[in-house]
Amino acid sequence: MNTADTSILTENIIHPQQVDTVGSVPIFAFPGVDMPTIEDLPGKKTQELEAEKPVILEDANVLELAQKYYETRKESFLKKYGGKYIAIFNNEVVGSDKDFSKLAQRIYKKYGYQTMYMPFVEAKRKVVKIPSPRIKIL
């Protein structure tokens, strides 16, 4: 190899420089090359995952929002689903059936066990009175 070839090769070599240590392990960086720091990597990955992750509301909020959705559209639901149970998931009717058990099986099979509002569609809301046991004080 002649000296001209050698000088070209040695000029293009980038030598790393030690910038820090983690414990007894040295950390090197290459001058002029932007590399993410150790702290950046988990943060970027977390941001990416958070951007992809759907927003999951607490069970109480899910039911509250679904009840409001149902109440605001009750008239149209009466015309279409009167006398049936409906399943509301993410502010959308995802199923209906006269048999609650069949509806629940079908919906949970499709969407998994998640909090869902499944009201019986009727004009008047039924109030069920359950007597409580009486305690006699001696």
Instruction: Give the pair of three-digit tokens for residue 59.
Output: 């069970």
pLDDT tier for residue 120 given thresholds of 50, 70 and 90: very high
Question: SS3 for 123?
Answer: coil
Q: What is the pLDDT of residues 38-72, one digit of tens each?
A: 555 555 556 665 555 555 557 778 889 999 999 99
Q: For the chain, which residues make up each domain, given as ranges?
A: 59-111
Task: Say what the pTM is.
Answer: 0.50
Cβ neighbours of 77 (radius 10 Å): 21
Contact status, residue 28 vs residue 19, Cβ threshold 8 Å: yes
Sign of the C-alpha dihedral, residues 104, 107, 111, 117? negative
